[in-house]
Structure 1
Amino acid sequence: MHRRRRTALLLTAAIAAAPLLTACGNDAHPGAAAVVGGERITVSQLEDRVDEVRAAQRAAVPDEAQYQQAIARTGSLTRDTLQGMVLDRVLERAARDAGVTVTDRQVQQMRSGLEQQAGGGEALEAAWLQQYGIPPKRLDANLRLQLQAQKLAQQLGTDTSRPEFWQALSEASKELDVDLNPRYGDWDVEKSSRVDAKTPWVRDVTAVPAPQGL
């Protein structure tokens, strides 16, 4: 993933993971999609996060054809979601190491400003869901991460597009010893990003084909 793309996802909405598969291929951590800092992100937790997004999309787009189009546009949702769940923890570690904190008041101030720009709370929630796959219930948590990223960059005397910022995330990735289940790819420590693993024996059982005629 290009750095510009990763920065846009990080700051505009967060990032979110790999196709759901029949079994967990990491024998060292059975049932885990990833292990970050010794803590497991379970396959069940990952599936629940993906289900949250799909449920929000279903509620926002009641028309079946439009819903299928939304699914087709977010075919990499599981991969993006796992990337986001891991990167959230990496960013939190980097922010903590730098002494960066974010208050609830700052989150609400950011949300209020974004709501004014978007034309209201519902419009902001709809935009975050459509563009970044962030369901309404996760919006505040996502905004907290955006603020952490901004304040971390300021603390480092740089911005989120610069190598110094991503180096801090890389160091946090090393500290946390990120370990992805091979079925979901690998974690590139230097880029702080999930990458596809070359495992031709892995079979994706939940890939959603593009709707016919769309």
Structure 2
Amino acid sequence: MHRRRRTALVLSAAIVAAAPLLTACGSEAHPGAAAVVGGQRITIAQLETRVNEVRTAQRAATTDEAQYEQAVAKTSGLTRNTLHTMVLDRVLDEAAETAGVSVTRKDTQQLRTSLEQQAGGAKELEAAWLTQYGVAPKRLDESLRTEIEAQKLAAAIGADMNTTEGQATFWKAMSEASKKLDVDLNPRYGAWDVKQSSRVDVKTPWLREVTADQTQETA
């Protein structure tokens, strides 16, 4: 299980790391929104809820405050990475729909059962996904569905994800979906690179990022 490649998220993480720093322009067009994808808002509250789910799961999985702080430090970019995932999931859904791809509940359950067997049980799989991918246990099925959807999309468009050419084909489809959805990120979380279908950091000296963790600390 540890050697499995989560097609969408592993590749997107590599793209984010290599992406250039962009300069943001304009102002926040959608107050209260972390992003707008296809005209639909991902609110800051929704983003913070997802981040808090991970932090709560991390705290439950640790034995003391020092261990929890280590887990938080290892996922210091959780807010931005979570938003990236939330946007990317919607982009993937669009690309999959265009390619005529769908994922059933049975597909997800079969993959979960297989991975649980490899991991040594349900709790072990949940712990591994939390540690490796920052996925809260309650979101595991959603994450597995994304994995399957990415694999099915790659197969439908003839993209061999083990080759550079295949990866380029996959991300071209994702880029086209990004264009269609007209992804718009709140500048405090970065900008959306349509060509690479990934989030990139932006220079926004007039904005101070407020993460879910900071919100909790001041609450």
Higher helix proportion (structure 1 or 2): 2
1:188 matched to 2:193: yes
Q: Per the alignment, in what secondary structure is the counterpart of residue 93 of structure 1?
A: helix
Answer yes or no: is the 8 Å Cα contact 2:33–2:41 preserved in 1.
yes
Give the aligned residue type for 2:178. Answer: S
1:167 matched to 2:165: no
Alpha-carbon distance change, 207 to 37 in structure 1, aligned in 2, over 3 angstroms: closer
Query: Which residue of 1 is the match for residue 159 of structure 2?
Result: 158
Looking at structure 2, the residues matched to 13 and 120 of structure 1 have their Cα atoms a distance apart, in angstroms, of: 27
Alpha-carbon distance change, 137 to 124 in structure 1, aligned in 2, over 3 angstroms: same
Alpha-carbon distance change, 103 to 207 in structure 1, aligned in 2, over 3 angstroms: closer
Answer yes or no: is the 8 Å Cα contact 1:75–1:208 preserved in 2.
no
- CA displacement at 1:28 relative to structure 2: 1.7
Looking at structure 1, the residues matched to 125 and 53 of structure 2 have their Cα atoms a distance apart, in angstroms, of: 17
Answer yes or no: is the 8 Å Cα contact 2:115–2:125 preserved in 1.
yes
1:142 matched to 2:143: yes
TM-score normalized by structure 1? 0.84
Answer yes or no: is the 8 Å Cα contact 1:149–1:160 preserved in 2.
no
Deviations 1:18-42 (A, max 9, x none): xxxxxxx944201100000000001
- CA displacement at 1:12 relative to structure 2: 6.5
1:33-48 aligned at under 5 Å gives the runs 33-48=34-49
Give the paired residue count.
194
Query: Which residue of 1 is the match for residue 8 of structure 2?
Result: 10
Query: Which residue of 2 is the match for residue 3 of structure 1?
Result: none
Q: Percent of aligned positions with the same letter in both sequences?
A: 64
**Structure 2 gap ranges (5+):** 14-25, 215-219
Q: Provide the aligned C-alpha RMSD in A.
A: 2.3
TM-score normalized by structure 2? 0.83
Query: Which residue of 2 is the match for residue 64 of structure 1?
Result: 65
- CA displacement at 1:8 relative to structure 2: 4.7
Alpha-carbon distance change, 44 to 9 in structure 1, aligned in 2, over 3 angstroms: farther
Looking at structure 2, the residues matched to 72 and 172 of structure 1 have their Cα atoms a distance apart, in angstroms, of: 33
Give the aligned residue type for 2:192. Answer: W
Runs of 4+ in structure 1 deviating by more than 6 angstroms, as ranges, are: 12-15
Give the aligned residue type for 1:191. Answer: Q
Alpha-carbon distance change, 119 to 54 in structure 1, aligned in 2, over 3 angstroms: same
- CA displacement at 1:14 relative to structure 2: 9.1
- CA displacement at 1:10 relative to structure 2: 2.4
Query: Which residue of 2 is the match for residue 120 of structure 1?
Result: 121
Q: Per the alignment, in what secondary structure is the counterpart of residue 187 of structure 1?
A: strand
Answer yes or no: is the 8 Å Cα contact 2:188–2:209 preserved in 1.
no
Query: Which residue of 2 is the match for residue 197 of structure 1?
Result: 202
Alpha-carbon distance change, 14 to 186 in structure 1, aligned in 2, over 3 angstroms: closer
Looking at structure 2, the residues matched to 54 and 9 of structure 1 have their Cα atoms a distance apart, in angstroms, of: 24
Looking at structure 2, the residues matched to 205 and 87 of structure 1 have their Cα atoms a distance apart, in angstroms, of: 21
Answer yes or no: is the 8 Å Cα contact 2:154–2:170 preserved in 1.
yes
